[in-house]
Structure 1
C-alpha cells in the first residue's frame, strides 16, 4: 500500500525479479482481517472472525450487551471450577487475536487471560458477557485515515489496587500517530502500588517507553518528522486519563 502508484509498481517489479509473486490488487481479506473502504479511509474489520467465535461458543443467537465487562462486580474466583476448561482457553485464545482490530476489548480479554490455568463458572459468565458485547458490535473495527499531522499523542490511565486477588493495579495506554491509533495496551502492573499516585506514575512510565520506541521506529523508516520531539505530561489524579503530547519538530 502507498500513496505513490509509481513507487508501488517499481517495488512490485523488483520483487518479481527475485521471487515468484502475484498481484492480487487492492487489499480485501488477509489473515482473517477484512479491509473496507470508507470514504477516504480504511476500516480493518474482523467481522467474519467474530461470527466464527460466536458460532464455536454457541452464542450466535445470544442477546447483545452495550458493555464488555461490569465495573461493579470484580472477577473473584469461586469454589466451582468450570466443567470444560479447554473450551474456555480456546475461546479466550481466539479473543486475543480479535484485539488486533478491537482495542475496546483489550481490558476484558486481559482479565479473562489471567484465569486460563483454572477457570471457574464465574469466569465463564464473564466470558459470555464479552461474547454478548461482540454480538452487538460486529461492525466495529480499526479505522485508518489520512492525517494532516504526524504528531504523537499518548494517553495513559491506571486504577489503584483494582485487582481483588493480589491488590495489583491495572494500567493502560493508547498512542495516536496523527489521527490514527497505532499502539494500545491494558495490563496488570507487575508490582503492588502503595498509592494511587504511584500507580499512575507506573502507567506513565510504560507509555513513555512505548512512545520512545515508536519515535525510534519512525526514525528507522526515514521519517523526517521524528528527528526531534518534546513532551509534556499532566497528572490529573486517579481514574483519569493522563494526556502526553509528543510534538514533532522538523
Structure 2
C-alpha cells in the first residue's frame, strides 16, 4: 500500500482539508460543465444531477427539469440555462464539514399537499445533517395519490 498524502480530488470532488474541518466542492467540474454543448439537454441535465452531490441548493430545480429529459421544450432548456447562470455566480459553494466537539443528528422533512395540479400528487423532501454539515437530502414527487389529497 502506498501513502499518497491527503485526499485532494475524488471523482470530480475537490477536497480541502484544513485544521478546523473539510470543505468539499466541485469548482473544476462546474468549469467543465459550462463547456457542455448547449444543444445537448440530456448531457447538461446529467451534469447538473452529478453537481447536486455537493450542491443541495439546486436539487429541487434539477429534479424538476430532469423529468423532461425525453421531451424537452425551449422553456425547459431556458430553466437549465438559468441554473447554469446561478452556478456561475456561486461557483465556490460546497459543503463544509467542520470539526465539532459534539455531533448531533438533525433531520428536517416537509411535504406539500397536492402540489401538482395535473395529477394531485405531492412533493416530499428531507434533509439530514450531522454536526455542521448536510449528509443526505432528497426531494421528489410522491408515486401515489392519496384519497385525502385528491379531494379539494
Match 2:100 to one of 144, 147, 157:
147
Aligned length: 149
Gaps of at least 5 residues in structure 1 are 1-15, 17-21, 59-83, 197-250
- Which residue of structure 1 aligns with residue 88 of structure 2? 135
Report how far residue 37 of structure 1 moved.
Answer: 3.5
SS of the residue aligned with 1:165?
Answer: coil
Aligned partner (choices 50, 53, 57) of residue 100 of structure 1: 53
Of 5, 14, 26, 2:6 maps to 26
* TM-score normalised by L of structure 2: 0.89
**Higher strand fraction: Structure 1 or Structure 2?**
2
Q: Which has the larger radius of gyration?
A: 1
CA distance in 2 between counterparts of 1:26 and 1:56 reads: 31
Match of 1:91 among 35, 41, 44: 44
Residue pair 2:122, 2:141 contacting (<8 A) in 1 also: yes
**1:9-66 CA distance string (max 9 Å, x none):** xxxxxxx3xxxxx3210111121110123551111010010111112245xxxxxxxx
Which has the larger helix fraction? 1
Residue 36, structure 1, aligned to residue 19, structure 2: no
Q: 1:137 to 1:39 in 2, by over 3 A?
A: farther
Describe the superposition over 1:63-84 as per-residue Cα deviations: whole angstroms up to 9, x where unpaired: xxxxxxxxxxxxxxxxxxxxx5
Contiguous gaps of at least 5 residues in structure 2: none
SS of the residue 1:182 aligns to: strand
Summarize deviations over 1:77-130 as a string: whole Å, max 9, x none: xxxxxxx5xx11111011111111111111011101111121111111111111
User: TM-score scaled by structure 1?
Assistant: 0.56
Could you say which structure has the greater relative contact order, defined with CA pairs below 8 angstroms and 6 or more residues apart?
Answer: 2
CA RMSD of aligned residues (A): 1.8
Q: 1:49 aligns with which of 29, 50, 73?
A: 29
Counterpart-to-counterpart distance in 2, 1:24 and 1:189: 44
